[in-house]
Amino acid sequence: MASIDVSGRLTSAESTATDVESHGATASLRDVLGAYVGLTKPRIIELLLVTTVPAMFLAARGVPQLSLVLATMVGGCLAAASANVFNCVLDRDIDERMRRTRRRPLPRHAVGPTAAAVFGAVLGVAATLVLGLTVNWLSAGLALGANAFYIVVYTLWLKRRTAQNIVWGGIAGCFPPLIGWTAVTGQLAWAPFVLFAIVFCWTPPHTWALAFRYREDYAAADVPMLPVVMAAPAVAARILVYSVVTVGVSLALWPVAGTGWLYPTVALVTGVALIWESVQLLVRARQGLTDAALKPMRLFHWSNSYLALVFVAAAVDPLLRR
């Protein structure tokens, strides 16, 4: 998934020094805080919340207790932030070689790796305690397991070794629906696993579309994303297959969770649009166009909207049947 370094507005060490001279200690503190916030990759956290909170509404068959939603959101944000910080620490050599990421705090030396690792550890401990003490320990354990998977399995093992990195490494991003569901019910069920499967199937086409856009970056960093190691038509074909499967899995929530008419309608309409964008990408890829002419970001941006709309529909659907 894409992330936006919110500290990207800062330029070089020289410009930082100029800021300090112009604005004093307050500007320096703002720069440091901005760098630490940038380590957490806020845009990724936003996407995780999109798949957590709707699962809580579906589990509650209505509006869950607002204090529980707030506690789950705070704990989930801290957990995701912790994982993202450790990812920044472990991937700082890759980030330095990629144009898309070289303005992140560690490549810019705005934060040291040791300080960043301590920050990530503190966030992880805080997340576990917040979820365990204010939600339940099952949700806390799931969040901790997701972080361990993301850091160890994806970042340390899969990312640099196989073109299937995002397929299996993406499992870490599938945990939020489970966490949201267990926050309300205290136990797992089939419905949250369908939500888990939607995110699992959605992640490859979403990420590979972005990897098309930054293929040269990934190649320069020796990261074997699929568009780096496979011809564009073959990658686009796989994106189409995963998109079709994603839509099929999304419709499975209808009978499993016993939703009303709203959810399957939204899932079907938005799913058709997702498949259409995937087909168009495949057509352009078979024409032998350049990476830019493939327009992969159209699919990338729509995939974001697709996931949000499907999960919002899952949250709103039970409200219409009360």
Q: State pLDDT tens for residues 14-30.
A: 333 333 333 444 448 88
Count of positions (residues) in the chain: 322
Residue that is written with structure tokens 């830019």 in the block: 292
Please report the pLDDT score of residue 290 as a whole number: 82
Secondary structure of residue 229 in the 3-state scheme = helix
* Cβ atoms 217, 103 nearer than 8 A: no
C-alpha–C-alpha distance, residues 292 and 157, integer Å: 30
* Cβ atoms 216, 178 nearer than 8 A: no
Inter-helix orientation angle 66-90/42-60, to 10°:
150
* Cβ atoms 27, 20 nearer than 8 A: yes
Is 219's pLDDT higher than 60?
Answer: yes
Q: State pLDDT tens for residues 105-164.
A: 999 999 999 999 999 999 999 999 999 999 999 999 999 999 999 999 999 999 999 999
Class of domain 190-322: mainly alpha
Its pTM stands at 0.90
C-alpha–C-alpha distance, residues 75 and 82, integer Å: 11
Is 43's pLDDT higher than 80?
Answer: yes
Point out the least confidently predicted range of 48-52, 72-76, 301-305.
Answer: 48-52
Please report the pLDDT score of residue 85 as a whole number: 98
Q: State pLDDT tens for residues 194-218.
A: 999 999 999 999 999 999 999 999 9
Q: State pLDDT tens for residues 301-320.
A: 999 999 999 999 999 999 99
Q: Which CATH number fits domain 32-188: 3.40.50.970, 3.40.50.2000, 1.10.357.140, 1.10.3720.10?
A: 1.10.357.140
Nearest to 263 by CA among 191, 312, 306: 312
Q: Residues near 216 by Cβ (< 8 Å), separated by ≥ 6?
A: 291
Give me the sign of the Cα torsion angle 172, 201, 195, 44: positive
Where are the domain boundaries for CATH 1.20.120 in the chain? 190-322
**What is the average pLDDT across 271-295?**
93
Inter-helix orientation angle 262-286/190-213, to 10°:
30
Where are the domain boundaries for CATH 1.10.357.140 in the chain? 32-188
pLDDT band at 44 (very low <50, low <70, confident <90, very high): confident
Please report the pLDDT score of residue 322 as a whole number: 66
